[in-house]
Amino acid sequence: MHDNNSAMLDNAQIDALIAQKLEELRLEDERVSRLFAAPPPPPEPPEYPRDDSNYLRWEISDATPIPQDGVDVQELWRRKDLYNKMLDYCDDPEAKHILGMLAQPGTGKTTAAIDLAQTMAARGIRVLYVSPSHRSWHDVATSENFNPRMWYQWMPISEACRYDTAQAEWMRKGYPSYDLCWQLCGQRTDNYIKRCEFRQQANEKSPIVFAMHNHITEHGLSIKNFGLVIVDELPLNAFVDTQNVIPLEGVEQAATTYMSRLAPLLAQQIRVAEATGEAIREKELFDIIGPALGDIYAQMQTLGLQQPSTPYVKMPHDVDKVRWAFALDLLKLARSEYEAWAHGWERWASRVRIVPDARGNHPAGLQLLSRLGVWEHLPTKMIVLDATGQPEIYKMIFDREFKSYQPPVKKIGSIYQITGNLFGSGRAEEHKDKLLAWALEIKERYDGRVCVVTHKALRELFEEHFGAGNVLHFFNVRGSNDFKDAECLIVAGTPAPPPFYIEDVALALEPDRVEPVSATWSKAWRSFEISPELLKKNGGKHPHRFVGGYWQDASMQAIHNQLSTSEIVQSLHRSRVVSRECDVFLLSSQPTTETLDGIGDKPAGNKTRSIDYVDGLSDFGPSGISWGHWRKLRTWLDDRYESGDAVGAVELGAVLGITEQYARKRHIIREIYEYDSRWHLEDDPNYAGKRGPRVQRLKPVEL
């Protein structure tokens, strides 16, 4: 549990907070008792069109709009489109929705947001700017338009508290931070709480406060007079904690008063999970603990529950002996599950579980899957900077309407996708050689820097072939500018969180849901966005393919789309493809929101080069000429051919920016001759009579 309130609470106020928890539990009991009748029917499986083929097909699609030509990113900056859109939203008194800025990475969202924050601050409106981590502060503070006199970086309690270790343990056990502050620093003779750096932040007067995502949850900040909040990236992790696990010793400590019968049963099942390595949940768990829970709920309705007291600590080390505070949270969370069990359901939405040790993430224990609420003092005006923001996710988190703005941007670089037998992290190790081979095929075509984003498990393998500084892994790329000078970027594989994590997030974000999630991975027909040129070339047809998804459960699919699609987009833009000339290859069957300049399929078992399947790369050039050089040569060679001009090493060197000698050494003349039948070879008159090997040039074939 995290808390950022700086007010000093006395014992009466602390008791009031506990009483509030009891009241929440009573209201939950009343709500659930009216909810259950019969178990919901299982979802209908989706229908698959036509056959079960996994290959790309080009077909007319009404579902996919024709991509429109976008504006150059430099023009976007000059017109201040993003800034003006956000300013109009702030100036509109009728706008009560969340504004999502879905502009692509590299389009200047952060710069525009800084400008907006400072404009609003100059008008006397206080701004809260929240980010995923304190590392993002560097990007904001080093921006050219940053005004340091307007900003304050909120200090985390871990940096400002003199008892930070004890405070971390206190909050881990479920107690509010200010409770410990009062006992250790407010009631002692030095009254240190009045001088505490963390608590003094409540008096900060800077018009813009830079804080973290967790500060817009129900715990908030001690400053409350904000008129605008800017949220950088999706704040999902701040609201959902999938690692809230009470260890065995914490459960055993709860075997007092009304928990005296329930706690030993939970402890017994934790030992079983430790021994078997298997989670225990739903009917299997409630067949054991259900009767004891029923007794507690019956006691609530007749006698009520005794209000638990707050542990007293005198010294920081006393926190180690404090019992865990989870009983009321458990009873509230388990109420709907108990009712499902009592009504004879076989399956339901499981938020109370016994889980085994998770490889160091948490010990075996009692998992309570819940979410934090939204800070009650959050201003109405909220702007989200999220290139792939899904309205469904923001609706789940904030329970507000979400309207997005996504300016059409013309890429300077190009994005190509190769679909086929490509796998997510679960099978990445099994098929690592295939992904690597395809990536190396592409790498051979480039003379400049070639970089890779792939699965974490494959990072070392790719580093052996691409270099340690040229490889990043999924879910660790946001904000990185490491590849901004790459000639080519390869995104190898499909980033996808494991199903159990998506299920946990879905259940946490929908606390009123009682029906179980459908974690079935099934196929559905999906189309890909492509450039107008490719659309025209293919007679107005779009590429389609069967793509796996949680199509029977809208919540699961929305979360999967947000996490997977978002990570693909972030990865594709690490080389700044919007604002500079470079090539990006996506080796994945997952459709992306990005407009593709080429797409192809790599049938399983086919030994042909993967790039030969990319529609849009049919003129990929001679094998001995890098793709970067060939891009410069294609149009130039067309012009030379039309005008009847010959092409020699001197002319090639001039257009490619290389020496005449290097052009001859690379046999570029011979490569073009063997690739393009429009040319024949003749002796270059510039070398007539000179000693040395024969030098030839290209001459257009007469039509």
User: How does residue 37 score in pLDDT terms, banded at 50, 70 and 90?
Assistant: low
Q: Which of 128, 209, 83, 112 is nearest to 381 (CA)?
A: 128
DSSP SS3 for 514:
coil
Distance CA 347, CA 286 (A): 11
pLDDT score for 382? 98
Question: What is the arithmetic mean of pLDDT over 165-189?
Answer: 86
Question: For position 75, what pLDDT does the model report?
Answer: 77
**CATH no. for residue 654?**
1.10.10
When pLDDT is cut at 50, 70 and 90, the band that residue 300 belongs to is confident
Tell me the pTM.
Answer: 0.80
* Contact partners, residue 398, CB within 8 Å, separation at least 6: 98, 374, 382
Domain-located, residue 61: no
User: For the ranges 120-134, 268-282, 351-365, which has the lowest average pLDDT?
Assistant: 351-365
Instruction: Tell whether the model's pLDDT for residue 104 goes beyond 60.
Output: yes
pLDDT band with cut points at 50, 70 and 90 for residue 609: very low
Pick from 594, 615, 636: which residue ends a domain? 615
Asked whether residue 539 is domain-assigned, the answer is yes
**390 and 500 assigned to the same domain:** no
CA distances from 479 to 135, 384, 486, 488, 556 (A): 10, 16, 16, 18, 27
The answer on pLDDT for 605 being more than 50 is no
pLDDT value at 231 more than 50 = yes
CB 131 within 8 A of CB 99: no
324 and 288 in a common domain: yes
H/E stretch holding 699 reads strand 696-700
Are the CB atoms for 210 and 152 separated by under 8 Å?
yes
Q: Is there a single domain that holds both residue 531 and residue 584?
A: yes
Helix (H) or strand (E) segment spanning residue 682: strand 679-683
Q: Are residues 219 and 250 in the same domain?
A: no
Reported confidence tier of residue 121, pLDDT bands at 50, 70, 90: very high
Domain count, the chain: 4
Q: What is the CATH number of the domain that holds 526?
A: 3.40.50
Residues 287 and 153 in one domain: no
Tell me: do 300 and 415 sit in the same domain.
no
CATH number at residue 215: 3.40.50.300
State percent of the chain over pLDDT 70. 86
Query: Is the pLDDT score of 276 beyond 90?
Result: yes
List pLDDT tens digits, range 446-483.
Answer: 888 999 999 999 999 999 999 999 999 998 887 677 89
- pLDDT band at 264, cuts 50/70/90? very high
Domain membership of residue 187 (yes or no) is: no
Assess whether 499 and 382 both reside in one domain. Answer: no
Please tell me whether residues 585 and 515 are part of one structural domain. Answer: yes
Cβ atoms of 335 and 29 within 8 Å: the answer is yes
- Name the helix (H) or strand (E) containing 473: strand 471-473
Highest mean pLDDT among 294-308, 594-608, 646-660 belongs to 646-660
Give residue 607's pLDDT. 46
**For residue 46, is it within any domain?**
no
Of 382, 405, 428, the last residue of a domain is 405
- Provide φ and ψ at 317, rounded to 5°: -70, -15
Q: Identify whether 693 is part of a domain.
A: yes
- Higher pLDDT residue, 241 or 294? 294
What is the rounded average pLDDT for all residues in the chain? 85
- Is pLDDT above 90 for 209? yes
Residue 170 maps to a domain: no
Region 634-642: what's the mean pLDDT? 87
Q: What pLDDT digit, counting tens, does each position of 354-382 carry?
A: 999 876 677 899 999 999 999 999 999 99
| In a shared domain, residues 416 and 441 | yes
DSSP E strand boundaries for 161-258: 208-212, 228-232, 245-247
Task: Tell whether 595 and 501 lie within a shared domain.
Answer: yes
**Span 549-564, mean pLDDT?**
87
- The model's confidence at residue 240, banded by pLDDT at 50, 70 and 90, is very high
* The dihedral formed by the CA atoms of 548, 554, 557 and 558, expressed in degrees to the nearest 10: 150
What confidence score (pLDDT) does residue 166 get? 93
Tokens for 165, please give them.
């270790």
* 558-603 pLDDT, tens digit each: 898 888 888 899 899 999 998 888 999 999 888 888 889 888 876 5
> Is 526 or 96 the better-scoring residue by pLDDT?
96
State the helix-helix crossing angle for 459-466 and 432-443, rounded to 10 degrees.
Answer: 30
Instruction: Give dist(CA 468, CA 455) in Å, integer.
Output: 15
- pLDDT exceeds 90 at position 147: yes
pLDDT digits (tens, 9 = 90+) for 335-355: 999 999 998 998 999 999 999
Give whichever of 125-129, 218-222, 234-238, 575-579 has the largest mean pLDDT. Answer: 125-129
Mean pLDDT of 221-245: 92
DSSP structure string for 368-425: E--B--B-TT--S-EEEE-TT--HHHHHHHH-S-EEEE---EE-SSEEEEEEES--BH
Residue 172 lies in a domain: no
Summarize the confidence of residues 393-422 as an average pLDDT: 88
Q: Does 175 fall in a domain?
A: no
**Cα→Cα distances 347→447, 517, 562, Å:** 57, 10, 27
Average pLDDT over residues 626-654: 85
pLDDT confidence of residue 606: 47
Q: Which of 564, 591, 615 is the last residue of a domain?
A: 615
Is pLDDT larger for residue 214 or for residue 421?
Answer: 214
Q: Comparing 171-180, 239-248, 627-636, which segment has the lowest mean pLDDT?
A: 627-636
Do residues 574 and 690 both lie within one domain? no
Domain coverage including residue 213: 73-161+196-241+373-405
Place of tokens 């000698």: 661
What are the backbone angles phi and psi of residue 588, rounded to the nearest 5°? -165, 150
Share of the chain above pLDDT 90, in %: 39
Q: Is the pLDDT of residue 160 over 90?
A: no
- Asked if 528 and 486 sit in the same domain, the reply is yes
